Amino acid sequence: MRNFTSVEQSIDLAAHRYLDRANGGRLRGRLTEFVVFGLKQAWACVFGAALLAVIIGVRLWYPADAGFASNDFLTLAAVVIQVLMIAFKLETLRELRVIVLFHVVGTVMELFKTDVGSWAYEAEGVLRIGAVPLFSGFMYAAVGSYMVRVFRLFDLRFDHYPRRWITALVAGAIYVNFFSHHYILDLRWVLLAAVVLVYGRCVMHFRVFRKRFKMPILVSFLLVALFIWFAENIGTWSRAWLYPNQLAGWQAVSIDKLLAWFLLMIISVVLVAWVYKPEPLDTSDADVPRLRRVSP
């Protein structure tokens, strides 16, 4: 049974009515699943896509002589996007709690990483903590928004999902290593091995439209990390933030960052899993799901 917001429920019901009236065979069904998959992914990314669009817009058109700092404008724009997401019931209050947690976890990391010189922001504006503009936390919140919406939109179920206390320990170690590797041995490869060991047997089942598909969960982590890496390249091109090797001129973000984003995915999944408990696949689950409106 899927938890849809009122907007999503209306869209899904309309799609079912269209397919019920339409004539077509297996090819039409597969094309429908493919289109719906893309639409749902786009819908899940709506917060991050809107924020990325504003970042690009600031890079291209924000006046250099504006009396209002561009970083402050980005922060206010991010707040407006979040308010609109709730006001138009594109996110629920339950999901907002998770997103705020992503914001806090990300901002703490930003404060440390900018202090040690891992990356830097323009030193402008008043809506910041130290060298970190407040909009940076919303970029982590965008990842949280995507994760909670994917969990709901694709009605995720799991085989062999590890015990949550074990995943929490791994995620905690990953988070600590993001800080500690500046002073002691970097354990990211050890942590990667731990992730593979813990999640290696886990298979994710997801419903696109009428049918379920499955994928090893480690593959899904990698695909999402790759998507974030592409978005990071756009963000640094727009000079929202810069790595040290980009200060003299923009160049693509190192592919090595994929590992960092892959490990960050584990933290993201653990945070979401404490709100949406991973459930096993019900073998009696029908091809066409029943719908249930999500509660705030």
**Digit-coded pLDDT (tens) for 202-247:** 999 998 877 889 999 999 999 999 999 999 999 999 989 999 999 8
**pLDDT score at 52:** 93
The predicted model scores a pTM of 0.86
Rounded-to-integer distance, Cα 130 and Cα 266, Å: 28
Rounded-to-integer distance, Cα 180 and Cα 176, Å: 6
Rounded-to-integer distance, Cα 172 and Cα 177, Å: 9
Show the tokens assigned to 153: 């939109």
Q: Domain residues of the chain, as ranges? A: 2-293
**pLDDT score at 283:** 66
Assess contact for 257 and 229: CB atoms under 8 A.
yes
How many CA atoms, within 13 angstroms, populate the side-chain half-sphere of residue 84? 10
Percent of the chain with pLDDT over 90: 58
Q: Which helix (H) or strand (E) holds 189?
A: helix 188-199
Q: Which helix (H) or strand (E) holds 283?
A: none
Please give the residue that has the higher pLDDT: either 203 or 87: 203
> Residue 67 above 80 pLDDT?
yes
**pLDDT score at 2:** 53
**pLDDT score at 124:** 87
* Region 159-174 average pLDDT: 96
**pLDDT score at 126:** 94
Query: Any idea which of 116-120, 204-208, 262-266, 271-275 has the lowest mean pLDDT?
Result: 271-275
Burial of 156 per CB tally in 10 Å (0-12, 13-18, 19+):
buried
The closest alpha carbon to 8, from 216, 293, 202, 295, belongs to 293
Write the pLDDT tens digit of every residue in 88-124.
878 888 788 888 999 999 999 999 999 999 999 987 8
Residue 203 backbone dihedrals phi, psi, to 5 degrees: -120, 135
Residues near 133 by beta carbon (within 8 Å), at least 6 away in sequence: 71, 72, 74, 75, 121, 122, 125, 127
**pLDDT score at 9:** 75
**pLDDT score at 290:** 46
Residue at token pair 């995507």: 146
Assess contact for 291 and 4: CB atoms under 8 A.
yes
Show the tokens assigned to 159: 């085989």
**pLDDT score at 248:** 86
> Residue 265 above 70 pLDDT?
yes
**pLDDT score at 202:** 97
